[in-house]
Amino acid sequence: MGLEQCCYVFTKLIRILTRLDVPVHPYPYLVFQQVKYPNPFLWTALIRGYAIQGPLSESVVLYNRMRREGTGPVSFTFSALFKACGAVLDVNLGRQIHAQTIVIGGFASDLYVGNTMIDMYVKCGFLNCGRKVFEEMGERDVVSWTELIVAYAKHGDMDSAGELFQGLPVKDMVAWTAMVTGYAQNARPREALQCFEKMQEVGVETDDVTLVGVISACAQLGAAKYANWVRDVAEKSGFGPTENVVVGSALIDMYSKCGSVEEAYKIFEGMKERNVFSYSSMIVGFAMHGCAHAAMQLFHEMLKTETKPNKVTFIGVLTACSHAGLVEQGRQLFLTMDKCFGVAPSADHYACMVDLLGRAGQLEEALELVGTMPMEPHGGVWGALLGACRIHGNPDIAQIAANHLFELEPNRIGNYILLSNIYASAGRWDDVSSLRKLMRKKGLKKNPGCSWVEAKKGVIHEFYAGDTSHPKSIEIKQTLDDLLDILKAHGYQPILSSVTYDVSNEEKRRILMSHSEKLALAYGLLSTDAGCLIKIMKNVRICEDCHAFMCSASQATGREIVIRDNVRFHHFHDGACSCGNFW
DNA sequence: GTAGGGTTAG
């Protein structure tokens, strides 16, 4: 066998072994040593092997040895090294190799080398360096563009991503998908859908990856109309939930977020293959809807399978326990998650535990738990504690939590409002007003409460508190007044403490009746057929009075009412709520 | 050899 042939065969062999995940040590390395005069491809196969499996230092050692022994690298050598630097986020080494490509000459302008270099910089968080490489490349292809588009999207800069995309001469499916997904990931679901429509208009194929982006956009819109539409699209294009585990999991999440946990479970049941995403999405879905028992049952079912729970699964079960008041079960899970399942509790899991204890009224213990955390508590942890203080009316611990929150999240308006509500409930109006002053000084404005309801044909109607701009405003007011009379006869009493302004009781009653979800409910009653479920979405937490009002309304009208606030779903049915008055 | 995907708490 000649030298070239010999190198060729051995290179192939090493590549195959690497692909089979056989450790580079010892066999591929032994193969390599059999060859007296390795050519660049053989060197590179081995360098690549170490680059993929680690340690990266070993591939660099080999690269240097190769140079010393007089063999020149090929572009493939650099691609492998950049890929590895990107994987371990070693930008310094990446820069050194970048410099090499310039010194040796010819490689810096190579398409593959350039593309892997962009990817390396971007992965390490040096977007501008990636952009610079892109600008200086002699030749670019759709891969170079897409890498940057994705990088901008991940940085939340959809405008730059869009600009690049505009300038991309030939847009393929992957590039389009990057845009659709980018919009979805940046909470711009409408633009994601528009982008998807355009993609279809110009005749670009779509696949399951595209669909997942679209499904995520629909989940954010939370409307049944879009949910059913995208499911249809998925099934018609041959990527239905039965066959495709990723599409299936995305659909489970979407239906949960659109208010239909039943539909989500149907998808789950119909899936041929389930993985940790499918289980976790379903468990989180159950938890969101207050179905704690179902969440726990599914978790135990999961434990009987090969699928191992991960950190998100535990977020799901802990949230379920928290909303159902299952303190002991939650405590057990928290204690065993590391020991039995190898999932070390993160700050997020601590936040769940603080929530669990806090909701159950064990505020002191919750505060103690924060003190034992092995990491710095983040906003979620203190936020959970503050939320619990609102439920149980504890302004002192609230103050501790709020002080941390004001440091950690100085611009998050919700924290100020929560504390202000806690002060107001305790009648500490002086504290309320000094907090208001602080908010004014910081230029923070209250996020107006808003609710929307899906009427016939999926048309969405939006209401703000005290809103009279709807064309049927007068009828809405009338419906609401009539309903109020009926509910009062059923025993409903307005909960005046839900108004956190220091005003007369009469004024409080008036304010309560102008809350946006009540307007949305009245419109829902007006615009849908009797017996029809009414689904309301809102952007802030539902107040206690509205919650009681909805409970009573579900009984008096015989309607099922579903409200999604910023955190979870409330199912009102026959005078009770799925959250067990626990939110 | 290079580019796009799903679940996360207040």
Domains for chain A: give ranges and CATH numbers: 346-446 (1.25.40), 450-577 (no CATH)
Q: Closest residue by Cα to the C1' atom of nucleotide B5?
A: A209
Token pair for residue A110?
């190579």
DSSP state of A193: H
What is the pLDDT at residue A234?
96
Residues paired with residue A576 on neighbouring β-strands, in sequence order: A573
Q: Tell me, in Å, how far CA of A111 is from C1' of B1?
A: 11
Residue % of chain A over a pLDDT of 90: 66
pLDDT above 80: residue A328: yes
- Judge whether residue A172 contacts strand B, using its CB and a 7 Å cut-off: yes
Query: CA A54 → CA A87, A136, A242, distances in Å?
Result: 10, 30, 37
Q: Closest residue by Cα to the C1' atom of nucleotide B6?
A: A250
What is the pLDDT at residue A163?
96
Question: In chain A, which residues from 266 to 285 place their CB closer than 7 Å to nucleic acid strand B?
Answer: 275-278, 280-281, 284
pLDDT above 90: residue A331: yes
What are the start-end ranges of the H helices in A325-428?
327-341, 347-359, 363-371, 379-392, 395-408, 413-425
Question: In chain A, which residues from 452 to 511 place their CB closer than 7 Å to nucleic acid strand B?
Answer: none
What is the pLDDT at residue A248?
97
Average pLDDT estimate for A79-83: 94
What is the pLDDT at residue A173?
97
pLDDT digits (tens, 9 = 90+) for A182-217: 999 999 999 999 999 999 999 999 999 999 999 999
Distance of CA A489 to the CA centre of its chain: 44
Smallest Cα–Cα separation from A323: which of A543, A565, A535, A567? A567
Q: Closest residue by Cα to the C1' atom of nucleotide B8?
A: A312
Round to whole Å and give the CA distance between A346 and A377: 10
pLDDT digits (tens, 9 = 90+) for A65-75: 999 998 989 99
Token pair for residue A384?
């959970």
What is the band of A318 on the pLDDT scale with cuts at 50, 70, 90?
very high
- Judge whether residue A248 contacts strand B, using its CB and a 7 Å cut-off: yes
Element (H, E) at A435: helix A429-441
Q: What is the nearest nucleotide to A122, using C1' and CA?
A: B3
Token pair for residue A72?
């020149």
A87 burial via Cβ count (<10 Å: 0-12, 13-18, 19+): middle
Round to whole Å and give the CA distance between A241 and A519: 37
Q: Mean pLDDT for chain A?
A: 91
- Judge whether residue A173 contacts strand B, using its CB and a 7 Å cut-off: yes
- Cβ A497 vs Cβ A512: under 8 Å: no
Sign of CA dihedral A189, A191, A196, A197: positive
Q: Tell me, in Å, how far CA of A133 is from C1' of B2?
A: 14
What is the pLDDT at residue A452?
87
- Long-range contacts from A511-516, C-beta under 8 angstroms, 24+ separation: A512/A545, A512/A546, A513/A480, A513/A484, A514/A465, A514/A466, A514/A467, A515/A449, A515/A465, A515/A543, A515/A545, A515/A546, A516/A449, A516/A450, A516/A451, A516/A463, A516/A464, A516/A465, A516/A467
Amino acid in position A315: I
- Judge whether residue A421 contacts strand B, using its CB and a 7 Å cut-off: no
Question: Which nucleotides of chain B have an atom under 7 angstroms from any protein CB?
Answer: 1-10
Residue A563, classed as helix, strand or coil, is strand
pLDDT above 70: residue A3: no
What is the pLDDT at residue A448?
77
Amino acid in position A572: F
- Judge whether residue A115 contacts strand B, using its CB and a 7 Å cut-off: yes
pLDDT above 90: residue A239: yes
Average pLDDT estimate for A105-134: 93
Residue % of chain A over a pLDDT of 70: 99
pLDDT digits (tens, 9 = 90+) for A286-308: 999 989 999 999 999 999 999 99
Residue A459, classed as helix, strand or coil, is coil
**Cis ω before A55 (30° cut-off from 0):** yes
pLDDT above 80: residue A579: no
pLDDT above 80: residue A92: yes
- Judge whether residue A146 contacts strand B, using its CB and a 7 Å cut-off: yes
- Judge whether residue A47 contacts strand B, using its CB and a 7 Å cut-off: no
Average pLDDT estimate for A536-565: 89
Question: In chain A, which residues from 343 to 402 place their CB closer than 7 Å to nucleic acid strand B?
Answer: 348, 351-352, 355, 379-380, 382-384, 386-387
Round to whole Å and give the CA distance between A544 and A539: 16
Q: Tell me, in Å, how far CA of A286 is from C1' of B9?
A: 14
Strands of the A460-464 sheet, one edge to the other: A460-464, A450-454, A534-538, A561-564, A569-573, A576-577
- Judge whether residue A87 contacts strand B, using its CB and a 7 Å cut-off: no
What is the pLDDT at residue A305?
95
Smallest Cα–Cα separation from A541: which of A378, A366, A365, A386? A386
Average pLDDT estimate for A564-576: 86
pLDDT above 90: residue A503: no
* Tokens 């585990």 found at: A245
- Judge whether residue A240 contacts strand B, using its CB and a 7 Å cut-off: no
What is the pLDDT at residue A276?
97
Average pLDDT estimate for A42-67: 91
- Judge whether residue A555 contacts strand B, using its CB and a 7 Å cut-off: no
Question: In chain A, which residues from 151 to 170 place their CB closer than 7 Å to nucleic acid strand B?
Answer: none
What is the band of A401 on the pLDDT scale with cuts at 50, 70, 90?
very high
The larger pLDDT score, comparing residue A271 to residue A452, is at: A271
Average pLDDT estimate for A74-91: 93
Round to whole Å and give the CA distance between A449 and A582: 21
- Judge whether residue A113 contacts strand B, using its CB and a 7 Å cut-off: yes
- Judge whether residue A77 contacts strand B, using its CB and a 7 Å cut-off: no
What is the band of A470 on the pLDDT scale with cuts at 50, 70, 90?
confident
Q: Tell me, in Å, how far CA of A239 is from C1' of B6?
A: 14
Q: What is the nearest nucleotide to A567, using C1' and CA?
A: B10
DSSP state of A453: E
Q: Which residues of A449-475 are buried (b: 16+ CB within 10 A; e: fewer)?
A: bbbbbbbeeeeebbbebebeebeeeee
Q: What is the nearest nucleotide to A212, using C1' and CA?
A: B5
Q: Which of A77-86, A135-144, A146-155, A442-451 has the lowest mean pLDDT?
A: A442-451
What is the pLDDT at residue A1?
62
Q: What is the nearest nucleotide to A146, using C1' and CA?
A: B3
pLDDT digits (tens, 9 = 90+) for A422-449: 998 888 989 999 998 988 888 888 777 8
